[in-house]
Amino acid sequence: MKLEGIKKVAVVGAGIMGHGIAQVCAQAGYRVHVSDLKEGVLMAAVDRIRSNLETLVKYGVTTKNKAESTISRIRVTVDLAEATKDVDFVVEAVPEIMRLKKQVFRDLDKLCPKRIILASNTSSFSITEIGSVTERPEKVIGTHWFRPPHITPLVEIVRGEATSDETLGVTRCFLEKLGKSPIVCRDSPGFVANRMQHVMTNEAIILLQKGIASAEDVDKAVKLGFGFRLPVVGPLEAQDFAGLDTSLRAREYEYRKLGDTKYQPPRLLRKKVEAGELGVKTGKGYYDYAKKDISSLIRKRNEQYLKLLLTLGYIKAQKEVRKT
């Protein structure tokens, strides 16, 4: 199967994620069939899509004519067989219940031609396990979208043990055509983003639970500290700028004082420090900076930080007062 062969998309499940996924596909020019068990859910999905598009028009992300065209490409139905008839790509977006997802994939496997890729929007479940209930595990893949799907750029592509290179390649090209920025990961609980996000959220709850800080201050620590910087530098880039030796010492101290193995420095961090790969200051850390102008990198990073802070309203631009 090739990307050019995808003309019509089916989205199974019209709830929190499904309606947004359908909208993105329709915005990219695809005809979209949306299926759900309840007529009311489908009607609510159409209303949400209209509301989403109105917001995009308001901020100049799309035009009124394009928004109307998007709506015209979407069809809804409670009949799964009708929704999947003559489609070329399927995205499942039903609630995160394994037995439900497996049943949907059994049904899709029977209804859809063998050439069709079946993608699951699961945020944590094993793609290998989901694909095992079908007779086409090589055509089953994970596409983990993030709320709200019509705005958030990231989609995780999760490769099951049986997922073929062709399925992976077509899925990646399809998501890129939708305007998304996909990453690829192996089938592992929580994948990439949620594994990191859930650890942070758990720690935030523990800090609150132990009375170390208030809910407001825990959230402020993220929003005004490392949180606003994350769109500019990811966690590994941030470590390179800070210095991996500094990072290791901090983790060793936390591990000694808190005594919890979750604070134990990872083996890779120790290996990097032992090899003298300390980040930007040595020209290599998690990334290679040998051929990069460090001063330019830092200046660009700081400019992006300032733009974000100004946009978010955390700081205000000062106007020059002219004396007359």
Domain extent listing, the chain? 3-186, 228-312
Residue 324 has pLDDT above 80, yes or no: no
> Is 214 among the catalytic positions?
no
Among the options 156, 164, 237, 247, which is catalytic? Answer: 156
Among the options 19, 33, 144, 150, which is catalytic? Answer: 144
Same fold, 3-186 and 228-312: no
The whole-angstrom distance between residue 219's C-alpha and the CA centroid of its chain comes to: 21
> Is 156 among the catalytic positions?
yes
Among the options 35, 52, 121, 123, which is catalytic? Answer: 123
With bands split at pLDDT 50, 70 and 90, how would you rate the model's confidence at 317? confident
In this prediction, residue 1 carries a pLDDT of 76
182-196 residue pLDDT tens:
999 999 999 999 999
> Is 123 among the catalytic positions?
yes
Q: Amino acid letter at 114?
A: K
Q: What does the mean pLDDT of the chain come to?
A: 95
201-231: burial string, b at 16+ Cβ within 10 Å, e else: eeebeebbeeeeeeeeebeeeeeeeeebbee
With bands split at pLDDT 50, 70 and 90, how would you rate the model's confidence at 321? low
Question: What distance in Å separates the CA atoms of residue 128 and residue 142, rounded to the nearest whole number?
Answer: 9
In this structure, the strands spanning 140-145 and 154-159 are antiparallel
Nearest Cα to Cα of residue 270 among 259, 255, 257:
255
Residue 323 has pLDDT above 90, yes or no: no
Question: What distance in Å separates the CA atoms of residue 244 and residue 195, rounded to the nearest whole number?
Answer: 22
56-86 residue pLDDT tens:
999 999 999 999 999 999 999 999 999 999 9
257-300 residue pLDDT tens:
999 998 999 999 999 999 999 999 999 999 999 999 999 999 99
Name the CATH superfamily, with its identifier, for domain 3-186. NAD(P)-binding Rossmann-like Domain (3.40.50.720)
Rounded to the nearest 5 degrees, what angle is found at the Cα of 293, between the Cα atoms of 250 and 243? 5
> Is 194 among the catalytic positions?
yes
CATH class of the domain comprising 228-312? mainly alpha
